[in-house]
Amino acid sequence: MPINFLAGQVLVFDKPLGMTSFGLVAKVRWLLTRAMGGRKIKVGHAGTLDPLASGVMLLCTGRATKQIETLQAGTKTYEATIQLGATTPSFDLEHAIDATYPTDHLSRDVVEKALDAFRGDIMQVPPVFSACKVEGKRAYDLARKGQDVALQAKPIHIYEYVLTDYRDDTHQADVRIVCSKGTYIRSLARDLGEALGCGAHLTALRRTAVGDHDLSHAFTIEAFEAWLATQDIDTQLPA
């Protein structure tokens, strides 16, 4: 049976490291338009990923874009690496380290105990280098211009925050996080560093699931292009 992207499809992608969310949407839209003989099609995403993060992104085509809000509300699952003992302005590797702190008091047990405070319903202040809007302008645009940005704390829910590995020699913590919509993993790294009194920033982030959609059935861009070439595509919009 022909596949109809105009009628609406939810596609699961594994966004590569270094690509923006907009870049992935634009690439997929271009591939679909080409496969449909130049027919224009609406494509949107159900939740962004930073360029320095990889993993699951849901893209909706045609009429399925109406499902975006519902899909965005699903839980997100992440695997992350947090570097303890140093901070950056963006809470990740987008910016260079701006301060370092003693780490002699750290251990796996100390870190695991600190995670307890971040489970359940919590309030979180988003990073200033984020897409949050301040008086109609993106916070990261203001921050990159050197302006002071004050963002309000927002309620989120952390279902799971587990230490999966801790390296005493480098003070790097690998964690698994299951959280609600609107959670910034960079902010969780910052807050963990503050709780431990040593500062912290994110050095790696991979989203492994959005709701019931996970990496096991996610397309790479290359795999999607190859798959698309084998499909019988219906280019007519259903009534």
121 is catalytic: no
Which of 146, 156, 150 is CA-nearest to residue 133?
Answer: 150
Contact (Cβ atoms closer than 8 angstroms) between residue 139 and residue 145: no
Residues, the chain: 239
Angle at 81 between CA 147 and CA 86, to 5 degrees: 50
Per-residue buried b or exposed e for 194-222, using 16+ beta carbons within 10 Å of the residue's own CB:
ebbebbbbbbbbbbbbbbebbbeebbebe
- Dihedral pair phi/psi, residue 213, rounded to 5°: -95, 125
DSSP 174: E
Q: Which of 14, 50, 92, 191 is catalytic?
A: 50
Contact (Cβ atoms closer than 8 angstroms) between residue 73 and residue 181: yes
Q: How far, CA to CA in Å, does 96 sit from each of 8, 17, 22, 203? A: 42, 18, 25, 11
Query: What is Dmax (Cα atoms) for the chain?
Result: 67
Angle between helices 21-35 and 221-228 (to 10 degrees): 10
Task: Enter the tokens of residue 124.
Answer: 């979180």
Q: Catalytic residues, which ones? A: 50
